[in-house]
A and B are shown apart, each in its own frame.
Chain A
Amino acid sequence: MTLAYDSFRPYTFVDAFKFMADNAGLMWSKTTEHLIVSGEAISIALLIAIPLGVWLGHIHRGSFVAITGSNILRALPSLAVIAIGLGYLGIGRTNVVFALVVLGSPVILTNAYVAVDGIDPDLIEAARGMGMRPLEILLKVELPLALPLIFAGIRTAAVFIVATATLGGVVGGGGLGDIIVNQASYFLRGVIAGSIAVAALSFAADFVFWSLQRAVTPRGLRLQARSFEPMSPADDAIAV
């Protein structure tokens, strides 16, 4: 590795903010790239994992796929997935997006499955008694009740994806990782500036999905989530 070993001084953190101001154009373009890569990954992960998880939970089947399978996917080291993907998908963004989808979708899938699968059967029974069809039960009863847990999964996945998109810097995927892996050109202050930007983006992604959750949760169910609390990936660590 070609690293220039920069010394750390107490004011390196102040320098990091100066770096942001001095290199506003660079920070802006790398942040945009970072957002595009993470945004693509989150969208694809959502498109795959939400319908699959909700559907499997609705029919109460496929716990093997939704829990065991996604636990295995979740165990895969992202850098290793990127390395393998590089051999088959080539250098650039596609490969990074693929690795991020592998990273993010299991969390969303498991949470969506557990959320819908775990709904009180009495409620489903009541809905059926009211004459609702299966699709109506899914859309009007199961989904609204499952929303908090589904969004917990999405928020965790979003934080994971935005933080891990940094690895794109290693394999030409663009994004803020380009600054973070280039200590030789940008020095430690640049590395810190890049990290601050990544951390800020993670919080922002978390906040966006939290707001979205509030917006789509029916008012009667809104009691639980009052104020924004940052999600840390350790939060869902207990889901077996």
Chain B
Amino acid sequence: MTGPSLLATGPVIPNFGEPPGGKNGCIAQNGTFCWDWVSLHWSDILQPRLVEHIQLTAIAVGIGFVIAFAAALVAHRQRWFEPSFSVLAAFLYTIPSLALFQLLVPFTGLGVLTIEIGLIGYTLLILFRNTLEGLRGVPEDVLEAARGMGLTRCQTLTRIELPLALPAITAGLRIAVVTTISLATVGAYITPLGLGQPIFYGLQTNFTTEFVATGALAVLLAIAADLIIVLAQRLLTPWAHSRRLAT
């Protein structure tokens, strides 16, 4: 039998070329933190995942805020609403997020919906609680004065209660945002979205720079988000700046 034989030619080793930086470069050596890799993959890995992460967080906090705000307004008028909610809060928080996302998969599938539902669930608890505490923290004499001035219930809410509750509400938003950024990295375990994806991928492929650099990026994102909200808080509620709220 003539013709080329695969066996005769020996094993075929595909040549992908050397990684950028050469075979002694830090990409080939799998160093702990390799700037070359970061600059090489900023535009195709890190930046898109960062944008996804911000989107995931913004959607979750946005929807969570709308629901929690409405629920807090109801609970502010209807007392029975709150205890049932507190029990749910204590319960949901003890479920590890890693498990919660997996438990949602049979119902909502392997998509962005699963992550968002999980994230919204966690923001609801924080935002609801803080909004309600803020509304309840309005001093009785202030409400008395508002009533004395002839304000209706609705006017009292928009002109007195909400502005006074604003520091507590923004404090809640701040915690909701940083918590969501943190949980969204875990969500990538289910759906490869956001900064968690390169972390899990790097862990699987054992390429150190990928998970270290992405982890650092997630940390920077959390700190940046935290600082931006604090700044916004100071601009929105200058009167709350002078005193410190403790629990």
Contact = CB atoms under 8 A, between A and B. Distances in A.
A75 B222 contact: yes
A195 interface: yes
Contacts of B225: 75
Given A234-B125, A234-B129, 17 more contacts: A3-B105, A71-B226, A77-B181, A79-B218, A80-B216, A82-B215, A83-B199, A83-B202, A83-B211, A87-B211, A114-B244, A152-B247, A191-B99, A191-B103, A195-B99, A238-B171, A240-B245
A46 interface: no
Interface string B173-190: 001001001100110011
Interface string A154-172: 0000010001101101110
B39 to A, nearest CB: 18
B226 A83 contact: no
Contacts of B202: 83
Contact of A80 (B208, B218, B226): B218
A98 interface: no
Interface string B216-229: 11110011011000
B186 A79 contact: yes
Interface stretch (B6-14, B71-79, B87-95): B87-95
Interface stretch (A18-26, A123-131, A196-204): A196-204
Contacts of A232: 86, 89-90, 93, 125
A75 B223 contact: yes
A240 B246 CA distance: 7
B93 A234 contact: yes
Contacts, number: 182
Contacts of A88: 32, 212
A177 B211 contact: no
Contacts of B133: 238
B94 A191 contact: no
B231 to A, nearest CB: 13
A223 interface: no
Interface of B: 32-33, 86, 89-91, 93-100, 102-103, 105-107, 110, 125-126, 129-130, 133, 167-168, 171-172, 175, 178, 181-182, 185-186, 189-190, 192, 195-196, 199-200, 202-204, 208-209, 211-212, 214-219, 222-223, 225-226, 244-247
A186 to B, nearest CB: 11
Contacts of B86: 232
Contacts of A192: 99, 103
16 contacts: A1-B204, A7-B106, A67-B244, A75-B225, A79-B185, A80-B215, A83-B218, A114-B244, A180-B99, A181-B98, A188-B102, A195-B99, A232-B93, A238-B129, A238-B171, A240-B167
B115 to A, nearest CB: 13
Contacts of B214: 80, 83
Contacts of B110: 5
Contact of B246 (A118, A198, A202): A118
B223 A72 contact: yes
Contact of A198 (B89, B99, B107, B218): B99
Given A75-B226, A167-B186, A232-B93, A86 B102 contact: no
A234 B86 CA distance: 9
A237 B95 contact: no
